[in-house]
Structure 1
């Protein structure tokens, strides 16, 4: 069982959350100007590192808010949790 610390509700079981993919992926400035290859890269290509990785999570069973988590993909250890719009902590 993975305990995810929601910034608003505190630590909760992972079953209360929905994974939202890689954090800090900027929407294209002019999506209409992208080629099909560039659009496909934006939609489908994401980093897949072994180690600390910034992810988006939604607390679907309680406050329903989105936030970011820096989680080690090899160990599932959570290094940092921060609200959407905040910068990633330097120590994470």
Structure 2
């Protein structure tokens, strides 16, 4: 089994590196999507609590800090996927 994986890597190194890039990109994209949905849901819940859409809606400090962290981490994952994919074109 180990020998088979090694021959697969030597025969198609760019494909396996692209697979690694895909493994970085999928969680990053999912995290960005889930964070945006969670942010919109929190804004809708807050608007429902206030019963007023005329005031500007802002999230509390902890929620906005958590969302900012998840956005940064998601974009970092996508950036890492782009870098790894670019490296696979150089192999």
How does the TM-score come out when normalised to structure 1?
Answer: 0.26
Could you tell me the TM-score, scaled by structure 2's length? 0.26
Bigger proportion of residues as helix: 2
Larger Rg: 2
- Structure with the largest fraction of strand: 1
Between the two structures, name the one with larger relative contact order (CA 8 Å, sep ≥ 6): 2
